[in-house]
């Protein structure tokens, strides 16, 4: 017995080809990540899909499968309204972060020739994150409010006679707030891609006779598209899942899917929350898939 065991051991030792080590190591390196994702991302999402078909009564939820919550979601004004508001705000914020972020990225990534300076400027963009979300929201109120700084100044110089009320507790304030918070996620990737453009490529275009706007349209914009797509994915995923900014700046007037989920969970309506969660997840997946089709990222990066 002992003999056999020893024999077995050595044969394994010698028979094992050196290449077998490779897949072993791959599996070992990937295992923690994959396990983590399965346990805490894939399983909960599947669970959420499952729960969305459970039966919800006022006080409890039972694992009896039904379509009731789904029907309720898609026949309710409130929920469909929230879905529409989410999509609308997402689109507006996406466009406004692009409009504010692209010129900033263009400056940081292309016009600032000094690499140290451009890195420093990118770090500056992150400074808003040195304060907490709550403090920033708190700070916007005296700025945007009815008696806030903007209204005061506009009244003083006589541009308006009545304070503009939509500045705070409206969709506009939510859009202003979100653009401010998420702009840097647009600037970063675009500035990175612009920084990788060889300056002599732009000089070559100049030398061939093209003016600035032509060069921008035919060279700079196409070469920065991967950055735009990555930035758009960052912003989209974060804005679609938002609830805090709208809660703090809209005075409960703007309800996003995220806010619906928060209230439903708060009132223990798990099945409804799960339906909203599944809808939101599908929406995000569709948006990311659509954005990825714009540019072949694997080829460009």
Partner 1 sequence: MPSLAAFARPADCEAFREKSGPELVGTEVTSVLQLKNVHKAFSGVPALAGVDAALSENSYVSLLGPSGSGKTTLLRVIAGFDQPDGGEILFAGKRIDSIPPHERGIGFVFQNFALFPHLSVAQNIAFGLSNRAVDPVTDTKIVAAKVRDMIGLVGLSGLEDRAVTQISGGQKQRVALARTLVTEPSMVLLDEPLGALDANLRTRMRGELRTIRERCGVTFLHVTGSETEALAMGDTVLVLDRGRIAQSADAGTLYSRPASADVARFLNCYNIFPGAVSGDAFESPVGRLALGGTRLTSGKQAYAIRYDRVAIRPRDAAAAGDEVRIEASFVASEYSGAAINSFFTLDDGRVFEVETHLSHAAPEAFEEKARYALVWKREDALVFD
The answer to whether 175 touches 246, Cβ cutoff 8 Å, is no
Residues 260-289 that bind partner 1 (CB under 8 A): none
| Dihedral pair phi/psi, residue 61, rounded to 5° | -130, 135
Question: Considering only 106-114, 184-192, 193-201, 261-269, which stretch makes contact with partner 1 by CB under 8 A?
Answer: 193-201
Q: Which residues does 229 contact at the CB level (< 8 Å), separation at least 6? A: 291, 292, 294, 295, 297
223 binds partner 1 (CB under 8 A): yes
Of 24-32, 75-83, 90-98, 197-205: span binding partner 1 (CB under 8 A) = 197-205
297 contacts partner 1 (rule: CB under 8 A): no
Check residue 123 for interaction with partner 1 (CB under 8 A): no
Shortest distance (Å) from residue 98 CB to partner 1: 20
Binder to partner 1 among 44, 81, 222, 251 (CB under 8 A)?
Answer: 222
The yes or no reply on residue 203 touching partner 1 (CB under 8 A) is yes
Q: Rule CB under 8 A: is residue 294 a binding residue for partner 1?
A: no
Least distance between partner 1 and beta carbon 207 (Å): 4
Site for partner 1 contains 113 (CB under 8 A): no
Show Cβ contacts of residue 268 under 8 Å, excluding neighbours closer than 6 positions: 59, 61
Nearest-angstrom CA–CA distance, 110 and 118: 9
219 touches partner 1 (CB under 8 A):
yes
Cα atoms found within 13 Å of the Cα of residue 89, Cβ hemisphere only: 32
- Compute the least distance from the CB of residue 290 to partner 1, in Å: 21
Which one, of 271, 274, 277, lies nearest residue 55 by Cα? 271
Choose the stretch contacting partner 1; rule: CB under 8 A; options: 78-86, 100-108, 178-186, 218-226. 218-226
Using the rule CB under 8 A, is 77 a contact of partner 1?
no
Q: How far is the CB of 185 from partner 1 (least distance, A)?
A: 24
Q: Which listed residue (83, 89, 205, 233) binds partner 1 by CB under 8 A? A: 205
- C-alpha to C-alpha distance for 122 and 188, rounded to whole angstroms: 7
Out of 92, 210, 237, 292, the residue judged to bind partner 1 by CB under 8 A: 210
The reply to whether 209 sits near partner 1 by the rule CB under 8 A is yes
Q: Which is nearer to partner 1, 7 or 217 (CB)?
A: 217
Burial of 178: CB neighbours in 10 Å, binned 0-12, 13-18, 19+: buried
Nearer to partner 1 (CB atom), residue 48 or residue 219: 219
Query: How many residues bind partner 1, per CB under 8 A?
Result: 18
218 is a site residue for partner 1 (CB under 8 A): yes
Which of 64, 113, 115, 207 is the binder for partner 1 (CB under 8 A)? 207
Interface residue list for partner 1 (CB under 8 A): 198, 200-201, 203-211, 214-215, 218-219, 222-223
């Amino acid at each position: 017995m002992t003999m056999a065991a020893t024999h077995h051991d050595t044969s394994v030792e010698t028979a094992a080809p050196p290449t077998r080590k490779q897949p072993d190591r791959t599996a070992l390196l990937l295992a923690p990540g994959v396990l983590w994702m399965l346990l805490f991302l894939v399983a909960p999402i599947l669970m959420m899909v499952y729960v969305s078909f459970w039966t919800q009564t006022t006080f409890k939820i039972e694992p009896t499968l039904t379509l009731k919550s789904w029907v309720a979601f898609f026949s309710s004004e409130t929920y469909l309204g929230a879905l529409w508001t989410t999509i609308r705000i997402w689109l507006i914020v996406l466009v406004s972060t692009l409009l504010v972020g692209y010129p900033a990225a263009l400056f940081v990534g292309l016009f600032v020739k000094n690499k140290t300076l451009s890195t420093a400027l990118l770090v500056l963009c992150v400074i808003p994150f040195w304060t907490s979300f709550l403090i920033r929201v708190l700070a916007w109120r005296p700025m945007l409010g009815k008696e806030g700084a903007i209204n005061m100044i506009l009244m003083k110089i006589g541009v308006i006679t009545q304070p503009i009320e939509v500045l705070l507790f409206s969709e506009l304030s939510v859009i202003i707030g979100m653009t401010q918070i998420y702009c840097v996620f647009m600037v970063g990737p675009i500035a990175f891609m612009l920084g990788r453009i060889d300056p002599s490529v732009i000089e070559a275009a100049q030398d061939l006779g093209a003016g600035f706007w032509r060069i921008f349209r035919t060279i700079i914009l196409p070469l920065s598209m991967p950055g735009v797509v990555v930035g758009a994915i960052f912003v989209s995923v974060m804005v679609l899942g938002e609830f805090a900014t709208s809660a703090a700046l809209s005075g409960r007037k703007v309800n996003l899917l995220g806010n619906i989920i928060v209230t439903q969970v708060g009132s223990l309506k798990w099945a409804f929350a799960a339906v909203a969660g599944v809808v939101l997840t599908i929406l995000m997946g569709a948006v990311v898939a659509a954005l990825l089709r714009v540019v072949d990222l694997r080829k460009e990066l």
